[in-house]
Amino acid sequence: MVTKKQSTGADNESKGVPPFSSTVKESASQIWLAGLGAFAKAQEEGGKVFETLVKEGLSIQRKTQAAAEEKLSEAGSRMAGMATDISSKASGGWDKLETIFEERVSRALNKLGVPSSRDIDALAARIDELNRTLSKLSAQAGTKVRAARPAARATGAAKPARKSPRAARKTAAD
């Protein structure tokens, strides 16, 4: 079996190859410098990127607010429409209930013999008509009685004058 001789750092240095530790140091140094360069670049362009991101954020926020306001107004109009529908249905229901209640009360009062407003109005109209007729008859009877009185005085009759229908009713009522 062949064995290989391990080379030492001194052998590598003599051949022109840098030792391993110096390679690691050099790589670490380059990584550090690259990091510093990236940081400097980020600082330079970071403000620009930040401003760009803020502008995009504002734009998105405005669009979102506009969409939300549109949806809110749409929902509000829907709710107003629903409230109107419910209100009209409820008022229609109350009107129907009121009509049913009035009809039932009217029927119950009619069964008890209580006259309705129509009955009372008809009676009032009938009373007015009777009063007009009675006034006409009284006026006619009054002219006949007045005409008969002077004639009775002239003849000197002892008969009492005939009473008018109105006076007759007053006497009968007393």
| Per-residue model confidence as pLDDT tens digits over 45-80 | 777 777 888 888 899 999 999 999 999 999 999 999
Instruction: Tell me the domain boundaries of the chain.
Output: 22-88, 115-152
Distance between start and end Cα atoms, the chain:
166
C-alpha to C-alpha distance for 69 and 74, rounded to whole angstroms? 8
C-alpha to C-alpha distance for 91 and 87, rounded to whole angstroms? 6
C-alpha to C-alpha distance for 163 and 169, rounded to whole angstroms? 10
**Least confident residue range of 31-45, 72-86, 124-138:** 31-45
pLDDT digits (tens, 9 = 90+) for 101-111: 888 988 888 88
Q: What pLDDT score does 61 carry? A: 92
